[in-house]
Amino acid sequence: MTGKRVASACAGALLVPALLAVPAAADPQPGEAAPRLKKTRCEAVMVEPAAFCRSSKSRWTQVTYYDKGDKIKITDRYDNNRWTKAIVQAEGHPKRYFSSKGKVTRTVRGDFGESWSVRVKVCTSWTKKAKCSPWSRYYPA
d(CA 37, CA 18): 21
Quote the pLDDT of residue 32: 52
The residues near 110 (Cβ < 8 Å, ≥ 6 apart) are 65, 70, 71, 72, 88, 90, 96, 118
DSSP string, 50-114: EEEEEEETTEEEEEEEETTTTEEEEEEE--SSS--EEEEEETTS--EEEE-TT-SEEEEE--S-T
The pTM (predicted TM-score) of the whole model is 0.71
For residue 116, the model assigns a pLDDT of 82
pLDDT at residue 46, as a whole number: 81
CA distance 21 to 19: 5
Residue 32, helix vs strand vs coil? coil
Tens digit of pLDDT at every position of the chain (141 positions): 444 333 333 333 333 344 434 444 444 445 554 445 458 999 999 888 999 999 977 789 999 999 888 899 999 999 889 999 999 999 989 999 999 999 999 999 988 876 789 999 999 999 999 999 999 998 875
Residues 74/105, Cβ–Cβ less than 8 Å: yes
Integer Cα distance of 135 and 66 in angstroms: 16
Distance in Å from the first CA to the final CA of the chain: 26
Confidence (pLDDT) at 56: 79
